[in-house]
Structure 1
């Protein structure tokens, strides 16, 4: 049995998206966001879709590059086999929506709200998701690498299938989260909330030292230097 300070091996990595090699170029006129619409094999490049609203839409095998979806509201929307790169998702709201086999790289997700949603086989790389809200979301094979998640809210989320590597989680909230099997390596954990939810998580030695101080504060334990 591994010692408490040894991180357990991660589960299988997220499955990669499977977009087609050839994509039709999307236009704001023909491929604007609409309720119950289905979008297949489209490339959303350098396109402004900010401030839109859509319910029940489906995106399958699409690619977003340098797109702007900031402030957009999505309800019960699904993205499957999609690539999202260098895209602005700041303050996007995705209630009861799903991401399946989606990779996000170099994008801005500041203030994003993905509440009561589902994420499976999702990778977020080198992205800014500070103040993002994932309350009551379900994570299965989700990997955060080199992301800024400062102040993010994971309250009530099921994080049993999530891993965080080299992420800034300072001030993040985990109250009521399920974290058995969650893996954290090389992360900043200063000032996190809901530290008692970390029962069952796998944490690297360096992270555990920082977490122990936060846990002591939560339990009103005074730590004195010898």
Structure 2
């Protein structure tokens, strides 16, 4: 069978960006474009409907702050800290999050398209009720993360740690978990049809169905 081509689009970034401080965003009338933020603390959007377009964040901390409803388009995040951030109803489009920390981040009800999350710690992250299209998690720690009742369209998990991740009420048809590791994940049995798993993982699903697997 032919391998599916990765259609995820990468961020469209300019060669040069204006270096800004976090406090500068309030002078941009809620629309910040072609900017670079490096080595600081983003204190929160205070329920403002901010849009970041064609931006780079490096060594920035969003931890324990409120960024609900913010839109990120063509944005690169490098070594950023999103620990316990409130990001419900956020939008990511053509973004990459690399070597970052998302422990306990709340991204419920979000719209996520063409996103790469790589080499990142996303334990206890909450993606409940989110819509995801062309999203790739690579070499991430997603233990105890929550994907309850998400809508997946070309979502990939490559070499991730998924122990105790919750995929209940999420359709896993076409989702490839075979290169990832876990001892237990939560799934809704009727929705695992078409999920791509390793032989060992398939045995685990068989036991979840109540089958007795005889190993010779």
Task: Tell me which of 11, 18, 33 is aligned to 2:12.
Answer: 18
In structure 2, the gaps of 5 or more residues are none
Query: Residue 80 of structure 1 aligns with which residue?
Result: 73
Task: Determine if the alignment matches structure 1 residue 139 to structure 2 residue 132.
Answer: yes
CA deviation after TM superposition for structure 1 residue 123, in Å: 0.7
Q: Is the 8 A contact 2:170 2:188 kept in 1?
A: no
Query: Residue 200 of structure 2 aligns with which residue?
Result: 210
Q: In 2 relative to 1, CA 33–45 (structure 1 residues): closer, same or farther, beyond 3 Å?
A: farther
Query: Residue 182 of structure 2 aligns with which residue?
Result: 189
| CA–CA distance in structure 2, aligned partners of residues 198 and 190 of structure 1 | 17
**What is the SS of the residue equivalent to 1:74?**
coil
Task: Tell me which of 16, 21, 34 is aligned to 1:27.
Answer: 21
| CA–CA distance in structure 2, aligned partners of residues 98 and 51 of structure 1 | 16
| CA–CA distance in structure 2, aligned partners of residues 140 and 166 of structure 1 | 19
* Structure 1 vs Structure 2 CA RMSD: 2.1
Query: Residue 212 of structure 2 aligns with which residue?
Result: 222
User: How does 1:22-171 map onto structure 2 within 5 Å?
Assistant: 22-31=16-25, 37-50=30-43, 53-171=46-164
Query: Residue 5 of structure 1 aligns with which residue?
Result: none
CA deviation after TM superposition for structure 1 residue 209, in Å: 2.5
CA deviation after TM superposition for structure 1 residue 116, in Å: 1.0
Query: Residue 198 of structure 1 aligns with which residue?
Result: 192
CA deviation after TM superposition for structure 1 residue 179, in Å: 2.0
| CA–CA distance in structure 2, aligned partners of residues 32 and 198 of structure 1 | 46
**Which has the higher relative contact order, 1 or 2, with Cα contacts under 8 A spaced 6 or more apart?**
1
Q: Is the 8 A contact 1:153 1:174 kept in 2?
A: yes
- The TM-score with structure 1 as length reference comes to 0.87
**What is the SS of the residue equivalent to 2:199?**
helix
Q: Is the 8 A contact 1:160 1:179 kept in 2?
A: no
CA deviation after TM superposition for structure 1 residue 168, in Å: 0.6
Number of equivalenced pairs: 215
**What is the SS of the residue equivalent to 1:75?**
coil
Q: Is the 8 A contact 1:179 1:200 kept in 2?
A: yes
Q: Is the 8 A contact 1:160 1:180 kept in 2?
A: no
In structure 1, the gaps of 5 or more residues are 3-7
